[in-house]
Amino acid sequence: MDPFLLEALLNGVLLGGVFALPVLGLNLIFGVVDVIWLCYAELVMVGMYAVWFLYTQAGWPLFLAFAICLPLVALLGGLLHVLVVKPLLSAPPINQVLATGGVLFVLQGAATLIFSTDFRSLGVEMPPIELGEVFVSGTKLAAFIAALVGAAVLWAFLKFTYVGTAIRAIARDREVMPLMGVDPRRIYLIASAAGGALAGLAACLLVVQLDVHPFVGLSFGPITFMICVMGGLGNMLGGFLAAFLMGLIVSVGGFYGSTDLSYVVAFLFFILVMFFRPRGLFTR
Amino acid sequence: MTPRAPRGMSGLTLPILLLAALACVPLLSPPDYLMHVLITVLLTALAGTGWALMGRFRLVSFGHGAFLGIGAYVMGLLWNYYDISPWLGVPIGVAAAVAAGLLLGYPCFQFRVVGHYFALVTLAAGEIVRILIVALRDITGGSLGMTPHQAPPGEAFAAMQFGKAGFWWIALAAWAAGLLAWRLLDRSMASKALAAIAEDEDAAASIGIRVTREKLMVTALSCALAALAGALTGQYRMYLNPESLAGLGISLQIVFGAIAGGMFSIIGPTIGALITIGLEESLRIAFGTQFTGAAALVYGILLVLFMIFLPRGIAGLLERPPRASTGRKAPAKGTVPAAQPPG
C-alpha cells in the first residue's frame, strides 16, 4: 500500500477522534434537552482562548491550563442552559436554535473585542512518531488518545452512575421520567454542563493543533453538526462512528485533491445521506 | 361593489406615494455617508425579505448566504472575464442562484427533509458554496476577494457603475420588487397552500396541494431575491468577498435581521435591516474600528432577547391589533405559528 495513502487514512482516523468529542457533547445535549446548540463550536473557541491565555500570557503550566479549561467551559455550558435555553424550552425548536445562534455572535464578538482577530498559536509541538513506514504527528496522536479516553469516561458516566442512568432514561422518554421521581430540570442542567465539559476537553485537544481566532469555530462547527445528524441526532454510537467516517473522507479527499475540496465532498456526502437516510446512517 | 376594491386602492396608493418620496431622497443631496447607509439598508432588507418569504412557512434556511454569493460571483466573473455587463450579469446570476436553489430544493422536498434537517442541509449547501469560492482562488481571488474591473470612462452606465444616487434608485427598485413579490404571493392561492403545508404536510397533500411544487415555487422566488441582493451589493461595493457574501456568518445575519424585524410581516425584514445596519453603524461611530466585535456582541444579545421575549419581531408588535380585527389576512398569518410562543 502506498505509504502516503496509509498516512492519509491514519490522519483521517486521528481527525475523526477530534471530531468525535464535540459530536458526543452535542448529541448528549440534543438527546437529553432536545435542543441544538448552534454555538457549540464557539464554546470550544472560548476554551481554546482560555488555554492560550493561561499558558502563553499568564505563564501557567500547560496541564494546569487544561485543568481550568474543562470546568470553565462546563460552567459556560450550564450558564447557557439557564440563561438562554431554559426560557425557551417550550418554544418552537427553530427559536431555540436561533437563540443559540445569537450566543454564537455574542461569543465571537466578545472574543474579537478582547483578543482582536489575530491568530494566536500555543507554540507547542510534540515530535513526530514513526509507525513502520509512516510518520504520525505526536500532537495529533496524543489528542486522539485523549479523545478516546474522554469518550470512555462519558460512556462510563452514563452507564454506571445514577445521574448517568437518569440521563439515558430521560433521553429515551421525556414524559415518564418526571413521574419516576427524576427532576428533569436538574438533569438538563447536568447534561448541559457535561456537554460543556466535553467542549472544554475538545478545546484542549484542538488548541495544540489549530491557531485560535474568533472565527475558528466556523472552521469545524458546521461539520460537527453534520456528523451529529449523520449519526442520528441523539445517537451517541452513531455520532462516534460518523465522526471517523467524516474524518476519513476529509483526510483521504485531501490526499487525492485539495483540503478545500475534500470538505466539499464531505458536505455533499452529508446532503446525500440526508436524502436517503434522513434519520441517520446507523439507525436500526 | 366588492369589499375588496377599496382595500386594494388604499393598499396601493400609500406604497406608491412612499416609493415616490423615497425616490426623491437623492434630490435633497444628503451626505454621501447617509446615502451609503441607506443603500446598504435597502439591499440588506431585500436579502431578508427573500429569506422570510420562505422562512415564514417553516422553510428555515441557514444557507441563504450561498445565493447571495452565487448571484454576486456569477455577475462579477462574467464582467471580469467575458466583459458581460452587470445589466445582463445580474439576471444571469439570479438565474444561476434559482437553478442552484431548485437543484437543492427538489430532492429536499421530495425526500421530505424538514425542520432541523432542512436547516442543516441548507447550512451544508451554504458552506459548499463558500468553500468552492475560496478553493477556486485562481479565478475568484479566494479569501482575498475580487474587484470588478473599473469601466472605461464614458461607459460607466453600461457597466452599472454609478455614484450613490444612481445606486439608490437601483436598490430602491430591487427592494420594491421584493415587496411586490411578497404581496403577490400573499394574495395568491399559493400562500394559503404554503400555510397549510407548514401546518401539516400530510394533511395538505391529502387535500390535493402539490407540496413539492408549492415549496419549489417559493424557494425559487426566495433565492431570486437573495441573489439579486447579493449581486447588487457586490456591484455597489465593487468588491466581492466569500465571507461577506457566502457562508454561515452572513446566512445567520440575514436570518437575524428578518427575525428581529418580524418575518411574518411584509415590512418586517426591512425594519430588521434598519435595526441591524443602524446598530452596526452607530456602534462603529461610537466605538471606532478598534471595537469591531462590539456590533456582533450587541447583535447576539438582541437576538437572544428577541427569541425569548419578542419572537414575532418588532413588526409583530406593531401589527397585532389591526390584524386581529380584519379577518381577511388573519388565516394565512395565523396558521404559520413557526415563531409563535405557545399559549
> A283 in a domain, yes or no?
no
Q: What is the ipTM of this complex?
A: 0.85
Decide which of A278 and B146 is more confident.
B146
What whole-number distance in Å separates Cα of residue B240 and Cα of residue A6?
40
List b or e across A156-167, with b for residues whose CB sees 16 or more CB atoms inside 10 angstroms: eebeeeeebebb
Q: How far apart are the C-alpha atoms of B258 and B260, rounded to whole Å?
A: 6
Q: Which residues pair with A212 in a beta bridge?
A: A120
Residue with cell 437563540: A99
**Cα end-to-end distance, chain B, whole Å:** 39
Q: In whole numbers, what is the pLDDT of chain B averaged over residues?
A: 83
pLDDT band of A284, cuts 50, 70, 90: low
Tell me what the mean pLDDT of segment B326-333 comes to: 40
Residue A281 lies in a domain: no
Q: How many CB atoms lie within 10 A of CB B278?
A: 12
Mean pLDDT of B109-125: 86
Asked if A28 and A154 count as a contact pair (C-beta separation under 8 A), the reply is yes
| C-alpha span between A46 and A68 (Å, rounded) | 12
Contacts of B247 (CB under 8 A, 6+ apart): A218, B65, B69, B126, B127, B129, B130
- Name the more confident of B217 and B335: B217
Contact B304 A103 (CB under 8 A): yes
Q: Assign 3-class secondary structure to A102-114.
A: HHHHHHHHHHHHH
Predicted confidence (pLDDT) per residue in B162-187, tens digit: 888 888 999 999 999 999 999 999 88
Q: What is the pLDDT of residue B325?
A: 39
Residue A226 structural domain: 3-276
pLDDT tier at B102 (50, 70, 90 boundaries)? very high
B37 CB-side CA count, 13 A: 15
Each residue's pLDDT tens digit, B192-244:
888 888 888 888 888 888 888 999 999 999 999 999 999 999 999 888 988 88
Lowest mean pLDDT among A17-21, B239-243, B268-272, B310-314: B310-314
Q: Which of these, B165, B48, B66, lies nearest to B125 by C-alpha position?
A: B66
Q: How many domains is chain A built from? A: 1
Residues 269-288 in B contacting A (C-alpha not used; CB under 8 Å): none
> Which chain B residue has its CA at the smallest distance from A80's CA?
B304
Query: Residue B59 in contact with residue B118, Cβ under 8 Å?
Result: yes
HEC string of B144-198 equals HCECCCCCCCCCCCCCCCCCHHHHHHHHHHHHHHHHHHHHHHHHCHHHHHHHHHH
∠ CA B186-B191-B195, nearest 5°, is 130
Residue B130 to residue B65: CA distance in whole angstroms: 9
Mutate to test the interface with B, among A26, A90, A98, A216 (most CBs of B within 10 A): A98
Tell me which residues of chain B, numbers 19 to 78, contact chain A at a CB-CB cutoff of 8 Å.
58, 60
Q: Look up residue B163 and give its three cell numbers.
A: 455614484
Task: Tell whether the model's pLDDT for residue B254 goes beyond 80.
Answer: yes
Q: Which residue has the cell 366588492?
A: B2
User: What pLDDT is attached to residue B243?
Assistant: 83
Alpha carbon of residue A176 to chain centroid: 29
Q: Cα–Cα distance between B260 and B38 in angstroms, integer?
A: 18
A contacts of B201 (beta carbons < 8 Å): none
Say if A108 falls within a structural domain: yes
Mean of pLDDT values over B35-47: 93
Q: Hey, is the C-beta of B87 within 8 angstroms of any chain A C-beta?
A: no
> Of the CATH numbers 1.10.3470, 1.10.10, 2.30.30, 1.10.246, which one belongs to the domain with range B29-334?
1.10.3470
Return the pLDDT at B217. 93
The pLDDT score that the predictor gives to residue B320 is 54
The answer as to whether A265 is a domain residue is yes
Round to whole Å and give the CA distance between B301 and A210.
Answer: 28
- The chain B residue lying nearest A90, using CA atoms, is B342
Contact B123/A222, CB-based, under 8 Å? yes
Nearest to B222 by CA among B105, B77, B74, B73: B105
User: At B121, which amino acid appears?
Assistant: V
The verdict on residue A282 lying in a domain is: no
Quote the CA–CA distance of B218 and B225 in Å, as a whole number: 11
* Mean pLDDT of chain A, nearest integer: 87
Using only C-alpha atoms, chain B has a radius of gyration, in whole angstroms, of 20
| Range in A251-260, B65-74, B316-325 with the lowest mean pLDDT | B316-325
pLDDT of residue B181: 92
State the smallest CA–CA distance between residue B190 and chain A in angstroms. 23
Residues of A in contact with B112 (CB under 8 A): 278
Inter-chain CB proximity B293 and A214 less than 8 Å: yes
Of B124, B134, B337, the CB nearest to A271: B124
Domain ranges of chain B: 29-334
Q: What is the DSSP letter of B326?
A: -
Show the cell assigned to B280: 452596526
Least confident interval from A48-52, B59-63, B90-94: B59-63
For A112, the closest of B115, B259, B293 (CB atoms) is B293
Strand (E) or helix (H) holding A231: helix A217-231
Task: State the pLDDT at residue B341.
Answer: 40
Q: What pLDDT shows up at residue B336?
A: 41
Tell me the shortest Cα–Cα distance from B109 to chain A, in angstroms: 9
**Predicted pLDDT of residue B326:** 41
What is the rounded distance in angstroms from the CA atom of residue B78 to the CA atom of residue B81?
6
Q: What pLDDT does B143 receive?
A: 82
pLDDT confidence of residue B289: 65
Alpha-carbon distance values, A123 to A53, A135, A207, B157, B167 (Å) = 12, 20, 10, 53, 49
d(CA A15, CA A23): 13
Facing residue for B338 by CB, picked from A36, A94, A110: A94
CA B340/CA B343 separation, integer angstroms: 9
- The answer to whether the beta carbons of residues A92 and A35 sit under 8 Å apart is no
Q: Which of B269, B28, B41, B1 is nearest to B167 (CA)?
A: B41
CATH number at residue A38: 1.10.3470
B104 to A263: CB separation less than 8 angstroms, yes or no: no
Residue A62 has pLDDT above 60, yes or no: yes
Q: What is the average pLDDT across A88-109?
A: 88
Residue with cell 486522539: A144
Beta strands in chain A (DSSP E): 129-131, 134-136
A142-185 residue pLDDT tens: 888 888 898 899 889 988 998 888 888 887 777 777 777 778 88
Rg of chain A over Cα atoms, rounded to whole angstroms, equals 19
Structure confidence at residue B97 (pLDDT): 96
Give the Cα-Cα-Cα angle A45, A49, A53 (nearest 5 degrees). Answer: 175
According to the model, what pLDDT value does residue B290 have? 64
Phi-psi region of A283 (alpha: psi -120 to 50; beta: other; left: phi over 0): beta
- DSSP-derived secondary structure letter, A118: -
pLDDT tens-digit readout, B281-327 = 887 787 766 667 777 888 789 889 988 888 888 887 776 554 443 44
Over residues A57-81, mean pLDDT: 93
Helices B268-287 and B313-325 pack at an angle, to 10 degrees, of 150
> Would the CB atoms of B291 and A101 count as touching at under 8 Å?
no
